[in-house]
Amino acid sequence: MGKKTGKVYVVGHKNPDTDSICSAIAYAELKKKLTGDEYVAKRAGQVNEETQYILSKFNVKAPDLLKNVKLQAKDLDIHKIEGVAPNVSIKDTWAKMKENNIKTVPVLKEDELVGVISTGDIATSYMDVYDSNILARARTQYRNIIRTLDGTLLTGNEHGHFTKGKVTIGASDPNLMKEFIERDDLVILGNRDEAQECAINIDASCIVVCQNAKVSSEMIRRAEEQSIVIISTPHDTFTTARLINQSIPVKFFMSKGPLVAFHMNDYVDEIKEVMTKTKFRDFPILDRHGRFRGFISRRRFMDASKKKVILVDHNEKSQAVDGLEEAEIVEIIDHHRLGNIETTGPVFFRNQPVGCTATIVYQMYREEEISISPKIAGLLCSAIISDTLLFRSPTCTSIDEKAAAKLAKIAGVDMEELAKEMFNAGSSMKGKTPEEICFQDFKQFTVNDVVFGVGQINSMSGEELREIKEVLEPHLEQVLEKQNLHMIYYMLTDILNESTELLCCGANAKAHIAAAFDLPEDTQDIILPGVVSRKKQLIPALVETLQQ
């Protein structure tokens, strides 16, 4: 089996139509079957009513929205690592670092990041051994001391904390010990009974007896009465004194903040800017709930791979998902004119003069001898019907008609009945705002320095188109300004009569159309008999006029 490619998004254009959505779903399915890799259908805009009807009819979930393809933290190689609790000892934390060969560990309270501890922080803890009060200031738990010293609890509460006094070694005779040992101190002792008794008389908080020296039952009884903790350790006095600071909890030495952390959805270009201003090696990554998910390092960040995308049903940059310049385009499957998308390297580009991208996808299934499920066949057939206006569009070819007929048979649908249901759903204005109607099938184009948009609504009812015109026409000026366009054209296409009424908005918009279709300059309502295709009839004529 070949090398895994990683996740690849298959996505159509903004303001997607039925072909854009259905071809993305079907092509992602084909690629998964061919490669076994993860190909995910996405959408770059809102699903229109016609497409939603088709998806519901064939019981297919709409692809999730892909707002942009900019690289995010979640796309990086996040180093997942188990954290430590705030009360875990420095010794146990250091052991985890060595075992996993890591230099930074997250300190977590449940899943919440409360700090990070690095090898540098641990080095600091070792350099602070001269401070005999540090164990108390760090509120070190007796259980940590027992674990660190490989010790045994002889009496006392291991869950208690050493919070007062200093750490001292009781190697002198009792008279000298009384001069420097105070109440609540932690005293490291040997096997001398008189020293043990002295520490109890002074009322130390904790006594650590080295080399597993014997402690009499009388001493243990008195310690219990005074709530003194006694720990026995196999280590000698020197080793015990050296090790004991390693029982301090990591929360005392960890970096608490403000921590430089990123979230899964943060964009890499923003992360990079922050990284350049800090000295840290590793950066915590949090999910949207603030829970720790791992680290990214500077090195892993520099090795980040771009998001991979396959474009279907378009090859114009203005129609593509945002952030495309930061992604890696691996394939383009389309049936439109060549646009202005540039790639950093060679890609698989299949462009055919047929009426629908779904026809090309159907051909690829056949070429690869991959069986088509009734669901996928239903989607592809619907897309062909939609794009060719049930074979009435001049873009339609015999290849489209033959493909649709075979797909209809697999899906078990009647094409005439399906077309009627689809177009009725797509032209319905029920519950829609003027903006929603406008953008349900809207594409943006650039010719020289002129940026214009062309929308289209297809209907089998002339009355319905007149109602749409009344709602849509007054709204176009707002769309023109909001989208920063020079011109807008909107095609109200009567499928049965095979004609289009064209709404024009913007300076010289109507004059350009008059020139393109050789109409009288004083034409009021622009009716274009026989014109039903945006791609093959309207756009080529308009582009030629704008280029002259």
Q: Which amino acid is at 424?
A: N
Q: Is residue 61 classed exposed, middle or buried when 0-12, 13-18 and 19+ CB atoms within 10 A define those classes? A: exposed
SS3 label, residue 280: coil
Tens-digit pLDDT profile for residues 338-377: 888 888 888 999 999 999 999 999 999 999 999 999 999 9
DSSP readout, 491-534? EEEETTTTEEEEEEESTTHHHHHHHHTT--TT--SEEEET---I
Query: What's the pLDDT band for 548 if we cut at 50, 70, 90?
Result: confident
> What's the CATH fold of domain 8-71+307-426?
inorganic pyrophosphatase (n-terminal core) (3.90.1640)
What is the per-residue pLDDT across 244-293, written as a single tens digit (0 to 9) for each? 989 999 888 888 877 888 888 888 888 877 877 777 778 888 988 888 88
Model confidence at 176, in pLDDT bands (50, 70, 90)? Answer: confident
pLDDT confidence band for 73 (50 / 70 / 90): confident
- Report the alpha-carbon distance of residue 62 to residue 42 in Å, rounded: 8
What pLDDT, on the 0 to 100 scale, is given for residue 4? 46
Contact of 400 with 390, CB cutoff 8 Å: no
**Start-end of CATH 3.90.1640.10 domains in the chain:** 8-71+307-426
Angle between helices 217-225 and 193-202 (to 10 degrees): 10
Where does CATH 3.40.1390.20 sit in the chain? 90-252
Tell me the two tokens of residue 518: 């050789």
Q: Is the pLDDT of residue 498 over 60?
A: yes
Judge whether 174 and 186 are in contact, CB under 8 Å: no
Whole-number Å distance between alpha carbons of 262 and 283? 7
Mean pLDDT, rounded, of the chain: 90
Q: Could you tell me the maximum CA-CA distance found in the chain, to the nearest angstrom?
A: 119
pLDDT in tens, 392-445: 988 899 999 999 999 999 999 999 999 999 988 887 777 788 988 898 889 999
What is d(CA 153, CA 157) in angstroms, rounded to the nearest whole number? 9
Token output for 72: 């995010």
The neighbouring-strand residues paired with 331 are 310, 348
CA distances from 212 to 194, 201, 236, 237, 457 (A): 16, 21, 9, 11, 89
**CA separation for the pair 413, 421 (Å, rounded):** 12
Compute the C-alpha angle 461/463/469, nearest 5°: 105
Q: What topology is assigned to 90-252 in CATH?
A: 3.40.1390
Would you tell me which CATH number, out of the four given (3.40.50.1820, 3.30.910.10, 3.10.310.20, 3.40.50.720), belongs to the domain 434-547?
3.10.310.20
Q: Are 390 and 415 in contact (CB under 8 A)?
A: yes
Average pLDDT in the 195-218 region?
93
End-to-end Cα spacing for the chain: 54
What pLDDT does residue 410 have? Answer: 97
Specify the pLDDT at position 130. 60
Residue 26: other Cβ atoms inside 10 A: 28
The model's pTM: 0.64
Phi, psi angles (nearest 5°) of residue 276: -65, -15
For residues 442 and 447, give the distance between their C-alpha atoms in angstroms, rounded to a whole number. 17
Q: What is the pLDDT of residue 119?
A: 86
Number of neighbouring beta carbons within 10 Å of residue 539? 20
Write the DSSP symbol of residue 441: G
The C-alpha angle with vertex 223 and arms to 159 and 190, in degrees rounded to 5, equals: 95
User: Using CA atoms, how far apart are residues 167 and 134, in angstroms rounded to an integer?
Assistant: 8
Say which residues have a Cβ less than 8 Å from residue 42's Cβ, sequence separation at least 6.
9, 10, 11, 24, 63, 64, 65, 66, 321
Domain with CATH 3.10.310.20 in the chain: 434-547
Which among 75, 31, 8, 4 has a CA at the least distance from the CA of 328? 8
Task: Summarize the confidence of residues 80-87 as an average pLDDT.
Answer: 89
DSSP count for the chain of H helices, then E strands = 22, 23
Partner residues linked to 105 by β-bridges: 117
Cα distances (angstroms) measured from residue 140 to each of 106, 170, 248, 382:
19, 20, 5, 70
The C-alpha atoms of residue 165 and residue 177 are separated, in whole angstroms, by 15
- Please compute the mean of the pLDDT values over residues 41-51 and round it to a whole number: 93
Q: pLDDT higher for 5 or 416?
A: 416
DSSP of 232-249, one letter per residue?
A: E-SS-HHHHHHHGGGGSB
Residue range 481-496: average pLDDT?
94
H or E element that contains 452: strand 450-459
Please tell me the distance from the alpha carbon of residue 18 to that of residue 427, in angstroms, as a whole number.
Answer: 13
Place of tokens 């919070």: 163
Amino acid at 335: H
